[in-house]
Structure 1
Amino acid sequence: MKRRDVAVIGGGPAGLSAALVLGRSLRDTILIDAQAPRNMVTASSHGFLTRDGISPFAFRRMANEELTAYETVEIWKNTVRDIEKTPDGFTIDVESGEQIFSKKVILATGKKERLPSIQGFRDVFGKSVFVCPYCDGWERRGEPLAVFGSGEKVVAYASLVRNWSSDLVVFTNGEHLPGEARRELERRHIKVVEDAIAACYSVHGRLQSVQVENKGPIRRTGGFIMGTGTEQSFELPPRLGASMNERNEYETDAHGRTNINGLYAIGDASHSFTGLVCAAGEGYEAAVHLNKTMIEEEWQRERQAAAET
């Protein structure tokens, strides 16, 4: 059994950042990554200073190359199958059959999308239809855009998207908006289409139009979806008892600590969507706090040992 100070599960920006800080803190760290990132559908990532426009795969390749400079960090391409809590840490079973013991665990596995079952939607998602306007709004600025969403919250989401383009059509896909929500949008010249969506037509991933039932196609060249109904990429075994909220996110404090001693959850695993910068920041914060905790634990053991002699 491999024995490590910390196991980081997930090799996105949150996990990579945590592994870097831990490695630099002389913590024997293993990074386990299945290499199936949530943002693999998109060609470029934005909003990360010095890396604006980088492809997700290039970002991960560069980060992995930087980590190889630290003998304290080992990177495994593998998938975690099970985690067991022990009195002094965790045992982790991976798909290839090995088992790892780790004193602490950082879960940075993120979420995976549950896209709506609309014909052609999967073809445009990540290419011309996105979730985060801060990540992709600049590239869609001034275009005729679709906003996919429903309920009262779609008003706030549409107001955000309008920052980049005032030419908006809100598609509720068969859901009826509350009267005041609809009036709020229409007062701002945002069209609302409540008919069910039949298809999204595109060319090489670039949205061309949205076809709704009982109407002709509505020309749109891009869009944003309010939510995709995400689910955890890796579900912790229920026996661990990690607390989750109503959005299926792991509940943590400001440092990423869960209610399970020694277990941290960061990035999209504890938030619906963090973006590259925020995810990397959470990895840094969790690693700093975890290292400080381990220092305090070591200090306490030394104090107890001295008192017993």
Structure 2
Amino acid sequence: MKELRNLFDIVIVGGGPAGLSAALVLGRSKRKVMLIDDNKPRHNVTYESHGYLTRDGITPHEFKNISRNELAKYKHVELMNEQVVHVEKKEKHFETITKNGVKLYSLKILFATGVTDHLPHIDGLKEIYGRSAFPCPYCDGWEFRDQPLAVIGNSDRIFEYTRSVQNWSSNLVLFTNGSANLNMEQKKNLVQHQITIIENKIKHLNSENGKLQSFQLENGKLILRTAAFIEGIKETQSCKIPEKLGCRIDENDAYITKQNGLTDVSGLYIIGDAKNLFSGLIKSASEGYCAGVSINSEIIEENW
């Protein structure tokens, strides 16, 4: 291959837990790494992250700072605060171009760009999302255990989701915001477990400083709740570049990958929420580790 300036073993696009973890493994493997991050993470609204052993309750900002400081001692790892706007696969390498015109070349490329959440159109929901309204009870259920909780949703998965949230509090109300997508047996089952089903339309969510206080229904009724769990949030890819490179997307808008994030496009890896839609902190970091090992092993094999 012709000698190229700015040639890296791998360019990593996305500096969340998945991308940072991959960069750490590859840096420790003596690989020349460029990690590019536009600092627009999905968890910008997250107050605390939970479920990561030794880091339970950490803020996303603090997690990123700690991770970047740890990467600083690996001289082969570089960080760039930029947005990637174009990637092209050449015969033996990838060409990556940033918004400011920086051009980089790499043998491999890894996308850990995540997804964008699209909340239900409920007045007042945006103000509490990440503070007292969440998609994942495993991430935030403990902090609101045994309190008056709400479930918002009405998809085909709403019965199982509601049953799951009930693990954290038996004081639970399901708001379907319209005619419930439940059969008679499911409705009866929820009622038997003291779960109230409200099908009236939601007019507004009342809150103060991000803390949910009550549901204002269109019929005028007020239902007091301290937190809500949302089922059926729509996710879309934050970055469409892998699709342009030939990576397939499934019916839920998740990238289709093989083991350890490898795609059908040779040298292209995708990990984290971009392939799972929702991973959580520890799973994303784990995927970064596994992808890093896989990429390094692939380069060793090619060099051998």
Comparing 4-13 with 149-158, greater Cα deviation is found at 149-158
Aligned 1:128-143 pairs, distance under 5 A: 128-143=132-147
Matched residue, 1:269? 274
Kindly provide the amino acid, as one letter, of the partner of residue 225 in structure 1.
Answer: I
Counterpart CA distance in 2 for 1:267 and 1:31 is 15
Comparing 96-105 with 170-179, greater Cα deviation is found at 170-179
Matched residue, 2:173? 169
Distance apart, 1:237 and its partner CA: 5.6
Matched residue, 1:157? 161
Distance apart, 1:8 and its partner CA: 0.6
Partner SS state of residue 296, structure 2 = helix
Kindly provide the amino acid, as one letter, of the partner of residue 96 in structure 1.
Answer: N
Partner SS state of residue 259, structure 2 = coil
| TM-score (norm: length of structure 2) | 0.96
**Please, which of 83, 86, 90 is the counterpart of residue 90 of structure 2?**
86
Within the alignment, does 1:204 sit opposite 2:209 as a pair?
Answer: yes
Aligned 1:96-245 pairs, distance under 5 A: 96-179=100-183, 180-236=185-241, 238-245=243-250
**Please, which of 1, 7, 10 is the counterpart of residue 3 of structure 1?**
7
Counterpart CA distance in 1 for 2:155 and 2:58 is 34
Distance apart, 1:196 and its partner CA: 1.8
Say whether the 8 Å CA contact 1:29–1:74 is kept in structure 2. Answer: yes
1:82-122: per-residue Cα shift (whole Å, max 9, x none)? 11111112111111111111110111011111112211100
1:3-31: per-residue Cα shift (whole Å, max 9, x none)? 11101110000000000000000110000
Distance apart, 1:136 and its partner CA: 0.6
Aligned 1:48-67 pairs, distance under 5 A: 48-67=52-71
Kindly provide the amino acid, as one letter, of the partner of residue 36 in structure 1.
Answer: K
Distance apart, 1:54 and its partner CA: 0.6
Counterpart CA distance in 1 for 2:293 and 2:284 is 14
| TM-score (norm: length of structure 1) | 0.94
1:152-192: per-residue Cα shift (whole Å, max 9, x none)? 31111111111110111111122432323322212211111
Comparing 37-46 with 229-238, greater Cα deviation is found at 229-238
Kindly provide the amino acid, as one letter, of the partner of residue 72 in structure 1.
Answer: H
Kindly provide the amino acid, as one letter, of the partner of residue 69 in structure 1.
Answer: K
Say whether the 8 Å CA contact 2:243–2:249 is kept in structure 1. Answer: no
Counterpart CA distance in 1 for 2:127 and 2:179 is 23
Distance apart, 1:238 and its partner CA: 4.2
Cα RMSD (Å): 1.1
Matched residue, 1:294? 299
Aligned 1:11-30 pairs, distance under 5 A: 11-30=15-34
Kindly provide the amino acid, as one letter, of the partner of residue 152 in structure 1.
Answer: D
Matched residue, 1:284? 289
Q: Identity over aligned residues, as a percent?
A: 45
Kindly provide the amino acid, as one letter, of the partner of residue 182 in structure 2.
Answer: P
Kindly provide the amino acid, as one letter, of the partner of residue 68 in structure 2.
Answer: N
Structure 2 unaligned regions, length at least 5: none
Partner SS state of residue 200, structure 2 = coil
Say whether the 8 Å CA contact 2:155–2:232 is kept in structure 1. Answer: no
Kindly provide the amino acid, as one letter, of the partner of residue 102 in structure 2.
Answer: E
Structure 1 unaligned regions, length at least 5: 300-309
Q: Pick closer, same or farther for the CA change 1:237–1:21 going to 2, 3 Å.
A: closer
Matched residue, 1:250? 255
Partner SS state of residue 270, structure 1 = helix
Say whether the 8 Å CA contact 1:9–1:108 is kept in structure 2. Answer: yes
Say whether the 8 Å CA contact 1:82–1:237 is kept in structure 2. Answer: no
How many residues align? The count is 299
Matched residue, 2:77? 73
Partner SS state of residue 234, structure 1 = coil
Say whether the 8 Å CA contact 1:152–1:181 is kept in structure 2. Answer: no
Q: Pick closer, same or farther for the CA change 1:239–1:129 going to 2, 3 Å.
A: closer
Counterpart CA distance in 2 for 1:279 and 1:224 is 22
